[in-house]
Chains A and B, each alone.
Chain A
Amino acid sequence: MTAAAAPILVPKHEKTADTAEAAERRQVRSAFTFLAPSLIGVVLFLVIPVIFVIILSLTQWNLLTPIRWVGFSNYANIFRFDGFGHSLLVTAYYVLLNIPFQTVLALGLAMLLNNKLPGSGLIRVICVLPFLATPVAMGIVWNWFFSPTTGIINELLGHIGITGPAWLSNSATAMPVIAFANIWQYVGYNMLFFLAGLQAVPAALYEAAGLDGASKVQQFRRVTLPLLRPALLFVLVTSVIGSFQVFDTVYVMTDGGPGNATQVANLNIYNTAFAGFRIGEASAMSVVLFVLILIITVAQFRYFNRRTVYEIA
């Protein structure tokens, strides 16, 4: 049989449709068919734009006149004339106000609500509600809450004899208020990921730790936190990337003011590109912001990978 099959292998092969090779070829063909739409999407709307924005950052262009090549001068000009350095500092300040509180609160909420007691499920839904509301609309509602004349915050403060500041038109309080609004909006969403991570922690681990006499704090540090590392990495990476790009709430709450106290990077890019029509400078800003986010993201991955290896096993 084997001896006879060898010489006629090639012609026979084409006829029997179900040989391994034909099946493999068929699988490759359907794999690329399945992949085609998302691949086109990723290349067309993500890969090409990234290359394109780098090229644009080396030009001067207002969308109408011909594109002019200017080399790296945009990168100097955005810091010299457009206050982009200030925008980056303001953004960093926002991220520092936002991320620590948001992450710790999300983790705390998840630990509090990770049980089957009646009411926990309802509160979970309530915590995620803000994520479903449009940030634009909520920003406007917070504007109203923090309004110095008609706002509920200053009304409440008035009852206990404190004259509240003009929150959003005061350069010291404007950014904290924006950070508060965003924490309120996204803490429940991030809680979902911690909750999912906690549910994957075997209860047996806590029992064992409890039997070994581990205190509550020790259990948290030695059992919960290590096992939550993947969830923590996910939440930190996505929320840091997100908060470096904060736009919606700032746009409706302060529009960068007072002065330029809340002129975050994304708002500066938006204004430069779509109000000033200086596409080259705005592209240079995007590239700088992208590189910054990339460095921070890679740093987070490396930090977590170094510390996760032995604990996950």
Chain B
Amino acid sequence: MASVASVTPASAATAVTVAEPPKVSRGVKLTLFYLLLLIIAIIFLTPYLFSIFAAFKPLDQILSQSPARPPTSPTWANFKDLFTEYDFGRYLANTLIVTVILTAGQVTFSMMGAYAFARMEFPGREGLFWMYLATLMVPNVVTLIPLYVMFAKAHLLNTYWAIFLPYVLGVPQVVFLMRQYFMTIPKEVMEAARLDGCSETRILWRIVVPISRPIIITATLLAFVFGWNNFLWPLIVTNSNSLNVLTVGNANFSSNFAVQWNLILAGSLVALIPMVILFSIFQRYIVRSISLTGINR
């Protein structure tokens, strides 16, 4: 196949960029392409745009005006209310603390496990790895009740611990993702280091970590998004205002008799901003590391 391609570099050049046959005129196709992109952008951005509009409107205007109308006199009152009338600063701090602990632990411990599975010899490796894979299929909801009972018996309900403990020691999904990546590192690298008398800890931190930055960033982002947006588990294990995370606090604005749209929309905006910043900085690593790993076996 490769030899065929090398015969026709010229004709390939035009086809590769668009990955479509060059039958229709290029101008028409580009116009259609960008029209499609515009429609996609509208579909995905409109909800945010209207939410941003609404976050700067008082509640009565949100209810009476069309969402498509930009605020006539933008107000920061909703944001101020969140932080003064309600404990939104507390929710934000809770979420940040819990998510940072969860992410740091999950990524570090999953990485250690993944390295052991990928590049170390020990008895029972295959069996243990299959156990990890099998638990990958266990739906969240199945473990919900027993975990709740376990945490209740351990008197850990209504603590920070309860919110992050089930995820902080490493989860099979991330172990699997990182193991697939580490498998692409040549064995010889580790063997050479071992012969030089390097300890495994040193090999992991000094050799594997530096060359595995894309997958570590990906795992970190996925863990962070998961922790930041986790809803059902924190909802179940905490029931005091001082321990609320953003998702639970935000849902509470709507579970009352009247939905406080202004607060919810301003609150979601505050919650979204850190995610967007993180993701736009690191998105290129994600695609790269996914393509290098698991799903292509």
Contacts and interface: CB of A to CB of B under 8 A. Distances in A.
Interface of A: 18, 23-24, 26-28, 30-32, 34-35, 37-42, 44-50, 52-53, 56, 63, 109, 111-112, 114-117, 119-120, 123-138, 140-145, 150, 152, 155, 184, 188, 192-193, 195-197, 199-200, 202-208, 210-211, 216, 230-231, 233-234, 241, 244-245, 247-248, 251-252, 265-266, 269-270, 273-274, 279, 282-283, 286-287, 289-290, 293-294, 297, 312
14 contacts: A32-B116, A35-B116, A37-B112, A37-B169, A42-B135, A119-B34, A132-B275, A133-B275, A134-B250, A143-B259, A206-B16, A233-B295, A274-B236, A286-B142
Contacts of B45: 126, 129
Most buried by B among A38, A42, A127, A196: A38
B141 A188 contact: no
Contact of B290 (A192, A269, A282): A192
B250 to A, nearest CB: 6
A97 B263 CA distance: 31
B142 A208 contact: no
B121 A28 contact: yes
B51 A141 contact: yes
Contacts of B36: 112
Interface in B255-297: 259, 261, 264-265, 267-268, 271-272, 275-276, 279-280, 283, 286-287, 290-291, 294-297
B144 interface: yes
B261 A144 contact: yes
A150 B143 CA distance: 40
B19 A279 contact: no
Most buried by A among B51, B165, B286: B51
A34 B264 contact: no
B211 interface: no
Given A200-B296, A269-B144, A41 B4 contact: no
A153 to B, nearest CB: 10
A134 B19 contact: no
Nearest to A17: B197
A107 B110 CA distance: 30
Interface size class of B (residues with CB under 8 A): 35 or more
B2 A204 contact: yes
A207 B15 contact: yes
Contacts of A124: 283
B33 interface: yes
The 4 A-B pairs at the shortest CB distance, nearest first, are namely: A41-B169, A38-B170, A137-B268, A204-B5
Given A44-B169, A203-B16, A245-B141, 8 more contacts: A112-B36, A134-B250, A136-B250, A137-B264, A144-B54, A192-B290, A207-B12, A269-B141
A142 B8 CA distance: 51
A252 B200 CA distance: 48
A30 B200 contact: yes
A290 B259 CA distance: 35
A34 B295 contact: no
A16 B246 CA distance: 58
Given A211-B4, A286-B144, A129 B44 contact: yes
B120 to A, nearest CB: 4
Contact of A193 (B54, B169, B251, B295): B295
A38 B110 contact: yes
Given A38-B175, A150-B63, A294-B137, A49 B143 contact: yes
Contact of A230 (B33, B279, B297): B297
A26 B147 CA distance: 35
B228 interface: yes
A118 to B, nearest CB: 10
Nearest to B113: A38
Contacts of A155: 66
A115 B17 contact: yes
Most buried by A among B113, B142, B169, B267: B142
Given A27-B200, A152-B67, A204 B47 contact: no
A31 B287 contact: no
A128 B45 CA distance: 11
B145 A196 contact: no
Interface string B145-182: 11111101000000000000111111110010000000
Contact of A136 (B117, B167, B225, B247): B247
Contacts of B166: 41, 45
Contacts of B251: 136, 140, 251-252
B181 to A, nearest CB: 12
Contacts of A126: 40-41, 44-45
Contacts of B137: 241, 293-294, 297
Given A23-B194, A53-B145, A63-B149, A34 B113 contact: yes
A115 B18 contact: yes
A208 B135 contact: no
B138 A46 contact: yes
A123 B41 contact: yes
A137 B51 CA distance: 10
Nearest to A298: B137
Contact of A252 (B12, B44, B115, B254): B254
B144 A34 contact: no
A34 B146 contact: no
Contacts of B169: 37-38, 40-41, 44-45
A176 B74 CA distance: 34
Contacts of A34: 112-113, 115-116, 120, 200, 204
Nearest to B197: A18
A46 B132 CA distance: 9
